[in-house]
Amino acid sequence: MAKELRGGYTTGACMAAGVKAALLYEQGEECDSLALKALDDTILTIPVKDIKETENGIMAEIVKDAGDDPDITNGVSVFTTIRHLPKGSGLVFCAGEGIGTVTKPGLSVPVGEPSINPGPRKLTRNVVEEILGADADLEVTVSIPAGTELCKQTLNPVLGVIGGISVVGTTGVLRPMSEDGFKNSLVPQIDVALAAGLDTQVFVPGKIGETLAVKHGIPKEAIIQTSNFIGFMLEAAAERGVKRVLLFGHIGKLAKVAAGVFYTHNRIGDGRLEAIAAYAAAEGMPQEGVIKILNSTTTEDALSVLEEHKLVYVCNRLAERASVRAERFIFNKLKVGTVLATMQGTILGMDANAIEMGRDFHWDIES
């Protein structure tokens, strides 16, 4: 029987728990742990590591427990400091050390605000109202010192969240990372690009596509990381009103799209070699060459067979097919172009849509 994975609590729950611990301390009640009601009504029991008075207010330290989730913030300390404000100030959130600030529109938090998401804000507001009432005037400053470095492992720099990580969590409950959770973490890139006026966006499955796109003149603001979830991200783009998407990446990923595979993890979806072999055969490759491609270990091996038979231009057909299959996948709600490249950054092929979009971006690739 598979082991049941242990859940935990989010950085947002840590912030809210810190506020609750500080308010209880102020009222003369010290606690080693406390109960916090999450936004889905789950009762979380959260240990309090430390609490003390400082020159800036009462500060509580909560250590993040992600359970069995591979969360980069697992085990970090979340420091929350409360300070009472003049009447009428309301509840004010401030970014301390390691917390990012939003600098681009399109996210769930306005530009200039600390990157503390709506869920954690609501959770904290509930705690404050529970203890002080709805008219409380309180400043809440959250700090995660480790966030200054950890943010480099997140999409925050791409999203325009500068200076640290975000305080996140929908409900406060952290369940071991699901595929849906990871996919949904990619979507805000689309919103940020749209808010910047970019309704033509460049989808890259990984660093190869991103590096090459930037090298050839595509603005970073237009580049969206999809990981293996190309189909999901195309659907998200269509729902949000994106007009055009340029798929730009390694042939090993995008040949799968040409074969109608939109979740490109190597253990789930493939068809790279079959797609290359089929289009090579359609262009007249002899049977022995086709068999050699099908027996290849990597797409690089298959490319050497195309080169041997002077059929590298087949990659243009693959690009065309990837675009057709992608447009069909999202019921022609947006236009798709495709650029295929090697691991070393050589452009192998592209279609007419890609050329059109690239020229609009003023790229320097010769068609």
Q: Which two tokens stand for residue 289?
A: 């060459």
Q: Which two tokens stand for residue 356?
A: 């059109």
- pLDDT value at residue 181: 74
Q: What is the mean pLDDT of residues 21-36?
A: 94
Q: What is the mean pLDDT of the chain?
A: 93
pLDDT at 39 > cutoff 90: yes
> Do 185 and 27 form a contact (C-beta atoms < 8 A)?
no
- pLDDT value at residue 1: 41
Domain boundaries defined on the chain: 8-177, 180-360
Whether the predicted model's global pTM rises above the 0.85 cut: no
- pLDDT value at residue 2: 46
Q: Which two tokens stand for residue 92?
A: 């004010």
Comparing 5 with 245, the larger pLDDT belongs to: 245
Residue 177's pLDDT band, with cuts at 50, 70 and 90, is low
Specify whether domain 8-177 bears CATH 3.90.1150.10: no
pLDDT at 103 > cutoff 90: yes
d(CA 35, CA 12): 14
d(CA 79, CA 143): 5
Lowest-confidence segment of 183-187, 188-192, 227-231, 350-354 by average pLDDT? 183-187
CATH domain 180-360 topology:
Beta-carbonic Anhydrase; Chain A (3.40.1050)
- pLDDT value at residue 303: 94
Q: Which residues contact 90 (CB under 8 A, 6 or more apart)?
A: 137
